[in-house]
Amino acid sequence: MSLSGLSYCPRAGQDHERRTVTAALPDYDVTDPAALALPREQLRAIQDERLRAMVRYVYERSPFWRRKLTEAEVRPEEIEGIADLARLPFTSRTELDAEQSAHPPFGEYTCSSREQWMGLFTTSGTSGRKLKRVVSRRDWRLMLDRFYRHPAPPPGEMFMLLGPVDGLLGPAVGVEAMRERGAIPVLAGTWDTRTKVLAIAELRPGAIAGAASYIIHLAEVAQEMGVDLASCGLRAVTSFGEPGAAVDATHAAIAERYGVGEIIDGYGLTEVWPLGGNCPFSAALHIADDLAAVECVDPDSGEQLPEGETGEIVFTNLIGDTQPLLRYRSRDVGQLTFSTPCACGSTVTRIERIEGRTDDMIWYRGANFFPSAVEEIVRSHPELTPEYRIVLDDGRRGLPVVTIQVEAASGTGAPEALRDPLRAALRSGLGVNPEVEVLAAGSLPRAQQSKARRVLDRRAGRSATVRGSGMSRRAQRDQGS
């Protein structure tokens, strides 16, 4: 085998089993904004180089990766670039959880030593097992550097974080990066919703950030309090954790209630990296191709899908040195665009829209749909509030019954009159025919700080409230493997 061309290995060409030199990743510069508008071939060349270095790095540093690559019969030196991605094994969340249990606390896929770390983060969610994500000072710096590609906020501008920050990678990096750039973070995560409304009116932050469903709930509370958020001087609203800009009706609701033109979806995975967001010209999520390689695969077969087809999004971390993941299955479902540049000039890969998680997909009488599709339809009916819930019950003959619960906005007349048009819209939009229940405004539970729970599964043998409709076929396979 040949190891020539590896700059980190002074004994290139010798059997790597006898090497004593430890692989390290180069110090990449990620601050040049021009890198995201390079011709595709040049972007691809950067990816090729970084993938080669990454595969060799994880093989040498991590027993977990050495095992996986050996099982997949891949020798690191055989991986020449992105064209070889499909030869690499997938990684799943289930597998990482199992690995952290088997080799506590961080798992053997951790490639750097404790002396290099700056902190520990976890995946979000308030209960249950959390995946532990450690970050080196090098990786933290690279994450902060990336934010320098975003337009700077005006000096002295306040921005308010509506949800928790501590322990969460995306919000923590965002706050630190904005602080470095001269903006003033207001960490409002521990305040109740009414206090946040009063603070927005008094402090007049230029931007607020939180999960879209909570942002909408906050606007509702403001209305009850008689506070007009549209006159509070906001410039931008950022949603993370769920789409705010990418669902047209949600975008319109936020734009109107907050009086802002700029609505941004931030996107990233704690397990991978903060990855990108949309631009002023497009609601598609622009993925930093120089930081992560992105693929779209068939959720069942794992085969790579052509551009534009809907499938599961898979990420390969190209630069992180601490817990880098190859071919990590995000469980997010969407479509990729990369052969044409965005109107903003960016040539990076875009995810047109995250439709949902593979495990949120609801199967109903032979068809399937995502909660986000219900959201789009409900929020395009102004006679309804933006809230909705999808309830799954056991029906006769073992078939599930799906009921979409919505709320009549105050003063919109009889609920019965709202039901039939909504049912028709759902039928044509989803391709299934769910039951519809129109409730009084304020009946449904509101988002508390983070993503809303939109699915209530009351079928026998299911947990009382889950986000998804039960396990996807993919999740079942992960658990069985």
What are the residues binding Zn ion (CB under 5 A)? 279, 281-282, 342, 344, 346
Evaluated on CA atoms 469, 474, 476, 478, the torsion sign reads negative
Question: Is residue 263 within 8 Å of 275, Cβ to Cβ?
Answer: no
Minimum distance of Zn ion from residue 291's CB (angstroms) = 17
Classify residue 367 as exposed, middle or buried by CB count within 10 Å of its CB (0-12, 13-18, 19+).
exposed
Minimum distance of Zn ion from residue 111's CB (angstroms) = 33
Minimum distance of Zn ion from residue 295's CB (angstroms) = 20
Minimum distance of Zn ion from residue 174's CB (angstroms) = 19
| Phi, psi dihedral angles at 9 (to 5 degrees) | -115, 100
Nearer to Zn ion, 348 or 404 (CB): 348
CA-to-CA dists, residue 6 to 25, 76, 299, 320, 332, angstroms = 11, 12, 35, 18, 35
Q: How big is the CA angle at 318 (ends 176 and 92), to the nearest 5 degrees?
A: 95
Minimum distance of Zn ion from residue 348's CB (angstroms) = 8
Q: Which region, left, alpha or beta, applies to residue 395 given φ > 0 means left and ψ of -120 to 50 means alpha?
A: beta
Nearer to Zn ion, 74 or 342 (CB): 342
Nearer to Zn ion, 228 or 248 (CB): 248
Nearer to Zn ion, 38 or 378 (CB): 38
Nearer to Zn ion, 36 or 253 (CB): 36
Nearer to Zn ion, 284 or 447 (CB): 284
Minimum distance of Zn ion from residue 42's CB (angstroms) = 18
Burial 387-408 (b: 16+ CB within 10 A, else e): bbbbbbeeeeeeebbbebbbbb
Nearer to Zn ion, 135 or 264 (CB): 264
CA-to-CA dists, residue 253 to 352, 376, 430, angstroms = 20, 11, 21
- C-alpha span between 288 and 348 (Å, rounded): 7
Minimum distance of Zn ion from residue 345's CB (angstroms) = 7
At which residue do the structure tokens 């749909």 appear? 369
Determine the angle formed by the axes of helices 137-146 and 169-180, rounding to 10 degrees.
Answer: 60
Peptide bond into 105 cis (omega under 30): yes
Minimum distance of Zn ion from residue 350's CB (angstroms) = 7
Minimum distance of Zn ion from residue 453's CB (angstroms) = 32
Nearer to Zn ion, 223 or 337 (CB): 337
- C-alpha span between 420 and 105 (Å, rounded): 53
Minimum distance of Zn ion from residue 279's CB (angstroms) = 3
Minimum distance of Zn ion from residue 336's CB (angstroms) = 14
Burial 230-241 (b: 16+ CB within 10 A, else e): eebebbbbbbbb
Nearer to Zn ion, 322 or 349 (CB): 349
Nearer to Zn ion, 51 or 287 (CB): 287
Nearer to Zn ion, 282 or 412 (CB): 282
Burial 13-43 (b: 16+ CB within 10 A, else e): eeebeeeeeebebeebebeeeebbebeeeeb
Minimum distance of Zn ion from residue 149's CB (angstroms) = 12
Give the amino acid at 136.
S
Nearer to Zn ion, 224 or 281 (CB): 281
